[in-house]
Chains A and B, each alone.
Chain A
Amino acid sequence: MATVALGEVRKDVSLALVDDVQVDDFVLIHVGYALNKVSAEEAERTLQLFAEAGLTEEVPA
């Protein structure tokens, strides 16, 4: 078990479904279980993709 913070709310969730989770990691939680780690690098990359929307492909003026 581990304590997660959802904004101001703290909740104990099970880590039975994930490996190698450290304090300060972000995890996806569902029905009281951490399902996966959230990748900081990939999140950054996706936000970058949003910011570039419309620039990556040919866009008529």
Chain B
Amino acid sequence: MKYVEEFRRHDLAQKLAAAIASEVEPGRQYNLMEFCGGHTHAIFRYGVQDLMPGNVRFVHGPGCPVCVLPIGRIDNAIQLVEEHEVILCTYGDLMRVPASGRRSLMKAKAGGADVRMVYSTQDALRIARENPDREVVFFAIGFETTTPPTAVAIRQARAEGLKNFSVFCNHVLTPAAIQNILESPEVREMGSVAIDGFFGPSHVSSVIGSRPYEFFAEEFQKPVVIAGFEPLDVMQSALMLVRQLNQGRHEVENEYTRVVSREGNLKAQGLVAEVMELRRSFEWRGLGMVPYSALQIKAGYEAYDAEKRFDVPAIQASDVKGCECPRILRGVKKPTDCKLFGTVCTPENPMGSCMVSSEGACAAYWSYGRFRQPEKAAEESAA
């Protein structure tokens, strides 16, 4: 496929690996956080970590929308479909996320609840049109990439006069999460997490542009390179981060120029701003309550807000005992540090969200890295 294969070329990967190896300063550690789960996946699937010198380390961030959704919100969704008997439309990767009491949307569906997996918000609208006598709720999750499609659906529902369609809104914001990580005690007090630079997300940045990262680069003095999702993109961006760190710079650079501009997609931003507004606070798995980190549906569109239309109580729920998802999401622990990893927790039978989503760090380690890790870990501790 054009614009994909060229960005996976073996010869260029070798060349970039050689360039990185020759430019890193031997006595120095380069801890580079990839915020986005898409990058975690690319790094593991293509073995990018193995092409890096020993002192360049990828720290996996919380940019997996399924992983950061707190369990209580999935409990809410199960209540909507079971108690309020709505048709609940959801993206597929939410189906198997463990909820309280070992439940999940998949199990609710198996028990007869009307949960429908959709590919697009357009599918959810179609289901609402086809079932005028049923309430249809779209379980909206995701970062800035999935938010504009939700906004489009809400506007379209209003334009069409669809009365039975609403949205359970759980959209979250990337910049707020990055700021939360940079301000966390683990990072600030130079303790358990060292982060020297960031890979900026690909698709999120195509919507919000590169400008929102300028604040972090300046305020926290950490370089940011917006990177495409293909392995060569990640490697080129690692090289750009190494160069910035070597030169003592902390700027926002853009490797993914074929899609990302400084302003981003203004049309998409405008649609979101029309339909949604900031929540004062929202709970993230792993990060806790993060101020102004999520969106809710604006007053003028409250007819399409499932939280207004139905009783959606705040539910406090805790993770499965022993599950290290929260620390893994903050970059404090690696999946292989978790006692449940690969023993009781596997993609077939996930205990924590990081094992469910293909973007989750545990799923990436399990799918591509579980035979490699012990060897690499030994090498790292020896270094």
Segment among B118-126, B314-322, B337-345 that sits at the interface with chain A? B118-126
Report Cα–Cα, A30/B6, bound state, in Å: 21
Contact with B along A31-53 (1 / 0, CB 8 A): 11101111110110111011101
Interface majority SS on A: helix, strand, loop or mixed?
mixed
Contacting residues, chain A, for B123 (C-beta < 8 A)? 32
* Cα–Cα, bound, A6→B1 (Å): 7
Q: With contacts A18-B265, A18-B267, A46-B258 known, is A31 near B120, CB below 8 A?
A: yes
Contact of A17 among B239, B256, B260, B268 (CB under 8 A): B268
Contact (A30, B145) CB under 8 Å given A14-B122, A50-B16:
yes
Determine whether the beta carbon of A43 is less than 8 Å from that of B15: no
- Across the interface, do B148 and A17 meet the contact criterion of CB distance under 8 Å? yes
Residue contact B22 to A60, C-beta cutoff 8 Å? yes
Q: Chain A: how many interface residues by the 8 Å CB criterion?
A: 33
Cβ of B23 within 8 Å of any chain A Cβ, yes or no, is yes
Are B259 and A28 in touch, CB under 8 angstroms?
yes
Instruction: Please state if A36 and B149 are interface contacts (CB–CB under 8 Å).
Output: no
The complex places the Cα of A8 from the Cα of B149 at a distance, in Å, of 25
Q: Are A17 and B1 in contact (CB under 8 A)?
A: no
A39 to B146, CA, bound (A): 22
Chain B residues 1 to 33 lying within 8 A of chain A, measured CB to CB, are 1-3, 6-7, 9, 12, 15-16, 18-19, 22-23
List of A residues within 8 angstroms of B23 by Cβ: 57, 59
| Residue ranges of A at the interface with B (Cβ–Cβ < 8 Å) | 6-7, 13-14, 16-19, 26, 28, 30-33, 35-40, 42-43, 45-47, 49-51, 53-54, 57, 59-60
Chain B: residues with CB nearer than 8 A to chain A? 1-3, 6-7, 9, 12, 15-16, 18-19, 22-23, 91, 119-123, 142, 145-146, 148-149, 152, 203, 206-207, 228, 232-233, 236, 239, 243, 255-260, 265, 267-268, 271
Instruction: Using A30-B203, A31-B119, A33-B148 as known contacts, list a sample of 16 further A-B pairs with CB atoms less than 8 Å apart, ordered by residue number in A.
Output: A16-B152, A17-B148, A30-B149, A31-B142, A35-B148, A35-B265, A39-B257, A42-B257, A43-B6, A46-B228, A49-B236, A50-B9, A53-B12, A54-B15, A57-B23, A59-B19
In the assembled complex, 28 residue pairs joining A and B whose CB atoms fall closer than 8 Å, in A order, are A14-B120, A14-B122, A16-B152, A26-B2, A30-B146, A31-B145, A32-B149, A33-B120, A33-B148, A35-B148, A35-B207, A36-B207, A39-B259, A40-B258, A42-B257, A42-B259, A43-B3, A43-B6, A45-B257, A46-B228, A50-B12, A50-B232, A50-B236, A53-B12, A53-B15, A53-B16, A53-B19, A53-B239
